[in-house]
Amino acid sequence: MTISKDKALQFKATLKDIKPDIWRRFIIPADFRLDQLHDVLQVLFGWVDYHLRRFTINGVEYGIPDPDDDFKTVDLDDSLYRLHELYKKVGQRSTYEYDFGDGWQISLVLEKVLDPDPEVKLPVCLDGKRSGPPEDVGGPWGYMDFLEAINDPSNDMHDQLVEWIGGKFDPEAFNIKAINRSLTGVDNKKPPGEWEMEDVIVNPTMGLTTQSNWPEALSDEEIQILKDLPLRRDIVMMLNYINENKVVGTATTGNFPQKHFKEMCRRFVNPPEIDPVLHDGTVIILTSEYQVEEILFRHVLANNGYLIEGEAGRRWKVTTFGNQFLVDTEAWQYWHLLVTWWVTTNWLYFSPIYQSDDIDYFQFIRLVLRNLLSLKEGKQISLADFVSKLAKQAKSAFPTFHMALKKGNLDIEERFIKELLVDPLSEFGILERFFVTKDWGNWQEEVLESISITALGLSVLKALDNARQPSVN
């Protein structure tokens, strides 16, 4: 039997080794790829795609091939095959596996081949029973232990697991409306590619790296500052870690897996908080590097600087240039990282308040450089004054930012400049930040009040200014 690509397929998906059954019935376009079926199953069972997967159809295993996989986890790339090419008849069975550590297995049965209803947006969930198990709970047997513990306050693991799950967990819950809302985001997307996030890369070029004698003209004191700089040391550690460990990008985004990004964070000079934290009564569990700005910033720098390369489901590797970077001097390492951030990385990625089409990007960063070079070494300027001065001058480069002055409230713009400019430059040792404690009654907060430029900052920014930069009208 041949199934045409304009048909729709109705499946029943049942999670194996758990009773009572956890199952879903759904319809999906026959022209969807197998990796998109994976996306649908993630939504149906409430998972978040942190791990690798594998389909077994007619004895052939499909997934994300890894050329460094000595055990040949899959035979073929699941992003290259359409469902109508693999499923041939009603009643055909296949298996979907997810998270090889937890070992989830789902039985898939093709129940019907249908003519799509133009009034129904596909994919769509028709029915189901019970909640999908939490991510990383330990597979079917770990899930049973989890349910037993959270329902028994006398269990030694009760409090810990209740905190881990963030409160109550109802194993009987099945919200078909919520599932179908989430399924609207699963469409005929392009296959995954290299780890290059939208709007991160602006103008990839290595040209500036060798167009300065600044790294060769530093004093012993300046060289020592660069040797001690946490950002440079963290990047070196990250590259060495990737060289020494098999770090396979997550199946969808290509991010560092949870195990590896947390271990890298622990090895940072100033390790960020990565353990579960209580925020507004909810336990926040960090499961993605997107939630930890320190690891994300370093990952972007290493990736944009051509020090590492990787993609979804593939092993991250240090490039030839990255290994040369590791044996270079601290001054040249620093210069390369700064040029990577200043020239080849879109700062707006780190503060998504404004869109890229709202700004003449190169004119704006030139304006920023001019204002930074106008500061006096060690002299504090309030963040509010710095932001106001910059906004006044940004009429042609950044109209929306300029217009914020007329609102009489620059709180959002101050946060924007802090995230976009001040925090990254403090990582480079260019700016020093000064905080004050704000008392809000029941809680206190450290708030950035002022900044000053360092001697190192003035030195390296002058070198950038003398290097090749886009002209400003």
Residue 249 domain flag: yes
What is the model's pLDDT at position 30? Answer: 96
User: 25 and 119 share a domain?
Assistant: yes
Mean pLDDT value of segment 274-293: 73
User: 339 and 375 share a domain?
Assistant: no
Query: Residues of 6-39 as b/e, b for ≥16 C-beta within 10 angstroms?
Result: ebbbbbbbbbeebeeebbbbbbbbbbbbbbbbbb
Q: Band the pLDDT of 199: cuts 50, 70, 90.
A: very low
- Rounded Cα distance between 380 and 378, Å, is 6
User: 323 and 382 share a domain?
Assistant: no
19, pLDDT greater than 70: yes
Residue 456 domain flag: yes
C-beta of residue 203 within 8 angstroms of C-beta of residue 340: no
355, pLDDT greater than 50: yes
Half-sphere exposure of 120 (CA within 13 A, CB side): 15
Q: Which of 321, 345, 369 is the last residue of a domain?
A: 345
Alpha helices in 156-250 (DSSP H): 158-165, 176-183, 220-228, 230-244
Instruction: Please state at what angle helix 230-244 crosses helix 258-267, rounded to 10 degrees.
Output: 140
Mean pLDDT value of segment 298-307: 91
Q: How many helices and strands (H and E) does the chain possess? A: 17, 15
Tokens of 232: 């440079």
Residue pointed to by tokens 């028709």: 126
What is the model's pLDDT at position 239? Answer: 97
238, pLDDT greater than 80: yes
User: 404 and 260 share a domain?
Assistant: no
Element (H, E) at 432: strand 431-439
Tokens of 445: 């907060």
Residue 341 domain flag: yes
Amino acid, single-letter form, for residue 464:
L
- Rounded Cα distance between 158 and 226, Å, is 48
Q: What is the CATH number of the domain that holds 422?
A: 1.10.10
Residue 135 domain flag: no
- Rounded Cα distance between 26 and 5, Å, is 17
Q: Say if strands 124-129 and 277-279 run parallel, antiparallel, or are unpaired.
A: unpaired
Q: Which residue has the higher pLDDT, 320 or 219?
A: 219
Residue pointed to by tokens 């037993």: 148
User: 219 and 332 share a domain?
Assistant: yes
Residue 154 domain flag: no
Q: Band the pLDDT of 210: cuts 50, 70, 90.
A: very low
Q: Which of 345, 376, 392 is the last residue of a domain?
A: 345
Top mean pLDDT of 179-183, 194-198, 400-404 is at 179-183
Q: How far is CA 418 from CA 353, 448, 452, 464, in A?
A: 12, 8, 13, 21
Residue 379 domain flag: yes
Cα–Cα–Cα angle for 126, 127, 131, nearest 5°?
Answer: 130
User: 324 and 408 share a domain?
Assistant: no
25, pLDDT greater than 70: yes
Q: What is the CATH number of the domain that holds 92?
A: 3.10.290.30
User: 334 and 465 share a domain?
Assistant: no
What is the model's pLDDT at position 193? Answer: 47
Q: Is the peptide bond before 20 cis (omega within 30 degrees of 0)?
A: yes
What residue numbers bound the domain in which 93 lies? Answer: 8-130+174-183
Q: Which residue has the higher pLDDT, 365 or 205?
A: 365
Q: Which of 292, 318, 345 is the last residue of a domain?
A: 345
Alpha helices in 59-135 (DSSP H): 83-86
Q: Band the pLDDT of 442: cuts 50, 70, 90.
A: confident
- If one counts the domains in the chain, the total is 3
Mean pLDDT value of segment 87-99: 95
Q: Band the pLDDT of 448: cuts 50, 70, 90.
A: very high
Residue 153 domain flag: no
Q: What is the mean pLDDT of the chain?
A: 86
User: 461 and 414 share a domain?
Assistant: yes
Residue 3 domain flag: no
User: 236 and 379 share a domain?
Assistant: no
User: 53 and 179 share a domain?
Assistant: yes
Top mean pLDDT of 84-98, 202-216, 262-276, 402-416 is at 84-98
User: 208 and 261 share a domain?
Assistant: yes
C-beta of residue 143 within 8 angstroms of C-beta of residue 47: no
User: 319 and 420 share a domain?
Assistant: no
73, pLDDT greater than 90: no
Query: Residues of 96-121 as b/e, b for ≥16 C-beta within 10 angstroms?
Result: bbbbeebebbbebebbebeeeeeeee
